């Protein structure tokens, strides 16, 4: 965990640095009349200082067996879920709600129960159809029509 | 007398058929969410936010508040029957509740937790009715410097009492603060951190951010583990506790109400801490502490009462000051703001119907919960058998639709996913989500009041020392962080965090 704490502190430091850099380019104003960059730059500097303290503390802490916080099992499951959701975001506008959601749900149900294609196809079709009817037809949410709207 | 008149007008609002329906739906959903391990009330409220856009503000909060305190009722069912807490505030109920179930006393354990929840919730409501208007009257004199101090103190208390590393929680809060700056500056209209994106001009959307941080990340965390649910195979009978059970449990309930209410009012003093504190107190006061851990009914009654009292107490700073005390009430504040309602000292005057309507609905909700819980236990047990692998694709689809439907924007779905991954990483690295959310919500208030204070004082920070309330809040903030450095206090905090 100590190693991961150090990596996290560097990421936080970088984040604080970027925010501070962007904030300092804004109008800081004066103490009489603080500008839009006043609090963001102060907050970002404080964040950078705290991340440095975090780095120092992670070096001072006794090693705890270097236990990784990341999953040893089911890691592929997580990646599959996040990747399929990312692809869904990219494809939703062009493909439309029905095709994109159907494919997403097939993948998610297959991740839940690998190999059970028939069940995944039926559950995906049902969940897509029901949510489409409830949200688009009943609650008037306008989903992207995509391929089916052309 | 005024109080009774207000309460009567509140009941007129809450007993309207539409509000009764929302109250019923809220507590029913809350109980369901409390029963189901793998989704907590914070995530559930975040997921339901988009649906409430077309619903009046008072009905929205009646529904969402019902989910919050309803989950406290439901959480005990899984703790007692499966030894898996349905939500974090019921962790401690597992210890003695499950032992009671193993001894064939699942019925009295479930019964006493339902009665305890009812008593804790109802008595805390009486406290809420007196304390919230008093706090609001006091806060009416507050100006910008006082709000700066209050926001700092609220955030510090949350960080201090929330458990976990103080440095990590502070970093979390500062990340939340940085994210709150995205969008147009409220004084000059200048774009800040928008990366040239039109979608970010109004800031990061509350709903996709909350759904990502709490909904998606919770699903990702749960995907890592296999939750084995073996419902205790016993016939649940005799739900009404015996006279002897009542004799042991009732004093624990009263003490649990007191502890829970006080810890609920303090930012960071969540229902989780309240339930642990109550358990520790009951064990300490007992003449037979060895019974704890092997089925002591006080170990169920005290914590279950305390977590409900804390959930109700948490509404006091939310309504009276506009300052939420935990992640769930932060989302409720977000919901009120989305409906154009600004909680704070003037809420009870300007929107008396809304405030008293919500308070009265909580009385109604507690009665519905007591009636619902006992006869429906068989149904909850059946629902417990639904495997998580069937639920998670549907939760994700619901998240996607919820994030999209707010603005009809695919961009928001992306924001939700991004925050889902960020929330997952933060949780894995031991960063608390609550300070991030609270700082994100309170960021604009902090910036506004800080800049206004400096304008009033012509750039002098002494204004925060000259105004007694602001000075007291800031002094308390400094003392909190200094005491956290004392080795004894640090060890105690770490111990508490480990227990929680």
Mutation site for B-interface testing, chosen from A58, A112, A123 by largest number of B Cβ within 10 Å:
A112
Token pair for residue B169?
């929680």
Average pLDDT, integer, range A94-112: 93
Provide the pLDDT for residue B452.
93
B171 contacts in chain A (CB < 8 Å): 12, 47, 50-51, 54
- Tell me how close the Cα of B356 comes to any Cα of chain A, in angstroms: 30
Spatial distance between the Cα atoms of B333 and B299, rounded to a whole number of angstroms: 33
Mutation site for A-interface testing, chosen from B51, B171, B182 by largest number of A Cβ within 10 Å:
B171
Which of A38, A92, A112 shows the shortest C-beta gap to B413? A92
Residue with the two structure tokens 């009385």 = B363
Q: Of A12-21, A44-53, A135-144, B33-42, give the lowest mean pLDDT range.
A: B33-42
Token pair for residue B82?
């499966």
Which of A30, A73, A123 shows the shortest C-beta gap to B459? A30
Provide the pLDDT for residue A135.
82
- Tell me how close the Cα of A65 comes to any Cα of chain B, in angstroms: 16
A110, A119, B38 from B390: Cα distances, Å:
11, 11, 12
Low pLDDT (below 50) residues in chain B: 500
Do B126 and B366 contact (CB within 8 A), yes or no? no
Window A:100-129, CB contacts with B under 8 Å: 101, 104-105, 108-109, 111-113, 123, 127
Provide the pLDDT for residue B447.
92
Provide the pLDDT for residue B181.
92
Contact B401 A131 (CB under 8 A): yes
Provide the pLDDT for residue B89.
75
B225 contacts in chain A (CB < 8 Å): 74
A113 contacts in chain B (CB < 8 Å): 389
Spatial distance between the Cα atoms of B98 and B190, rounded to a whole number of angstroms: 58
Instruction: Kindly report, residue by residue over B377-400, the tens digit of the pLDDT.
Output: 777 777 777 777 888 898 899 888
Do B12 and B367 contact (CB within 8 A), yes or no? no
Which of A86, A113, A139 shows the shortest C-beta gap to B417? A86
Nearest chain A residue to B169 by CA distance is A50
Provide the pLDDT for residue B38.
61
User: What backbone torsions phi and psi does residue B460 show, to the nearest 5 degrees?
Assistant: -100, 125
Instruction: Kindly report, residue by residue over A51-68, the tens digit of the pLDDT.
Output: 888 888 877 766 555 567
A26 contacts in chain B (CB < 8 Å): 190, 192
Contact B392 A108 (CB under 8 A): yes
Which of A46, A69, A82 shows the shortest C-beta gap to B174? A46
Which of A33, A74, A131 shows the shortest C-beta gap to B455? A33
Spatial distance between the Cα atoms of B14 and B372, rounded to a whole number of angstroms: 18
Nearest chain A residue to B168 by CA distance is A54
Q: What is the 3 state secondary structure string of B384-441?
A: HCCCHHHHHHHHHHHHHHHHHHHHCCHHHHHHHHHHHHHHHHHHHCCCCHHHHHHHHH
Provide the pLDDT for residue B329.
86
A145, B54, B238, B300, B376 from B110: Cα distances, Å:
49, 37, 10, 9, 11
Token pair for residue B309?
């009292």
- Tell me the ipTM for this assembly: 0.91
Spatial distance between the Cα atoms of B433 and B158, rounded to a whole number of angstroms: 11
Token pair for residue A110?
């297959």
Instruction: Kindly report, residue by residue over B207-252, the tens digit of the pLDDT.
Output: 788 888 888 888 888 888 765 555 555 566 677 888 888 998 999 9
């Amino acid at each position: 965990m100590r190693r991961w704490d150090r990596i996290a502190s560097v990421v936080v430091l970088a984040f604080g640095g970027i925010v501070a850099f962007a904030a300092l380019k804004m109008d800081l104003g004066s103490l009489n009349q603080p500008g839009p960059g006043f609090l963001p730059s102060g907050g970002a500097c404080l964040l950078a200082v705290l991340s440095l303290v975090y780095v120092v503390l992670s070096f001072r802490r006794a090693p705890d067996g270097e236990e990784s916080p990341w999953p040893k099992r089911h890691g592929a499951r997580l990646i599959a879920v996040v990747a399929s959701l990312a692809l869904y975001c990219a494809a939703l506008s062009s493909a439309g709600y029905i095709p994109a959601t159907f494919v997403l749900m097939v993948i998610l149900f297959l991740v839940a129960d690998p190999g059970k294609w028939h069940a995944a196809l039926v559950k995906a079709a049902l969940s897509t159809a029901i949510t489409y009817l409830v949200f688009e037809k009943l609650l008037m949410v306008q989903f992207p029509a995509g391929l089916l709207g052309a | 007398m005024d109080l009774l008149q207000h309460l009567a007008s509140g009941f007129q609002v809450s007993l309207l058929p539409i509000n009764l329906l929302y109250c019923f739906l809220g507590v029913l959903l809350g109980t369901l969410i409390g029963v189901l391990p793998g989704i907590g009330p914070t995530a559930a409220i975040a997921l339901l936010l988009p649906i409430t856009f077309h619903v009046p503000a008072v009905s929205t909060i009646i529904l969402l508040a019902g989910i919050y305190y309803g989950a406290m009722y439901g959480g005990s069912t899984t703790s007692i029957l499966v030894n898996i807490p349905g939500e974090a505030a019921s962790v401690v109920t597992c210890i003695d509740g499950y032992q009671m179930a193993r001894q064939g006393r699942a019925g009295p354990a479930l019964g006493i937790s339902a009665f305890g929840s009812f008593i804790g919730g109802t008595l805390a409501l009486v406290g809420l009715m007196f304390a919230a208007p008093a706090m609001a009257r006091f806060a009416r004199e507050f100006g910008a410097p006082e709000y700066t101090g209050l926001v700092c103190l609220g955030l510090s208390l949350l960080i201090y009492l929330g458990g976990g590393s103080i440095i990590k929680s502070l970093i979390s809060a500062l990340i939340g603060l940085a994210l709150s700056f995205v969008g147009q500056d409220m004084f000059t209209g200048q774009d800040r951190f928008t990366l040239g994106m039109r979608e970010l001009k109004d800031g990061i959307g509350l709903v996709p951010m909350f759904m990502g941080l709490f909904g998606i990340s919770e699903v990702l965390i749960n995907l890592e583990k296999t939750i084995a649910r073996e419902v205790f195979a016993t016939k649940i009978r005799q739900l009404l506790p015996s006279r002897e059970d009542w004799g042991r449990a009732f004093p624990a309930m009263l003490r649990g109400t007191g502890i829970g209410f006080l810890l609920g009012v303090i930012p960071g003093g969540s229902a989780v801490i309240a339930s642990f504190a109550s358990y520790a107190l009951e064990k300490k006061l007992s003449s037979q502490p060895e019974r704890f851990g092997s089925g002591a009914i006080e170990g169920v009654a005290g914590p279950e009462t305390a977590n409900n009292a804390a959930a109700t107490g948490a509404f006091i700073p939310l309504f009276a000051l506009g300052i939420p005390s935990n992640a769930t009430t932060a989302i409720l504040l977000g919901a009120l703001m989305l409906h154009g309602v600004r909680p704070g000292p003037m809420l009870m005057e300007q929107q008396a119907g809304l405030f008293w309507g919500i308070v009265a609905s909580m009385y109604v909700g507690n009665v519905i919960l007591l009636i619902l819980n006992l006869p429906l236990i068989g149904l909850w047990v059946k629902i417990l058998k639904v495997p998580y692998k069937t639920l998670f694709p549907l939760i994700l689809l619901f998240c996607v639709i919820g994030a999209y439907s707010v603005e009809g924007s695919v961009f928001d779905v992306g924001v939700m996913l991004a925050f889902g991954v960020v929330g997952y990483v933060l949780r894995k690295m031991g960063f608390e989500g609550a300070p991030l959310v609270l700082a994100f919500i309170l960021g604009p208030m902090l910036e506004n009041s800080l800049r206004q204070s400096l304008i009033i004082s012509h750039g002098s920070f002494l204004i925060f020392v000259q105004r007694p309330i602001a000075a007291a809040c800031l002094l308390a903030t400094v003392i909190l962080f200094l005491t956290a450095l004392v080795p004894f206090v640090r060890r105690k905090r770490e111990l508490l965090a480990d227990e929680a």
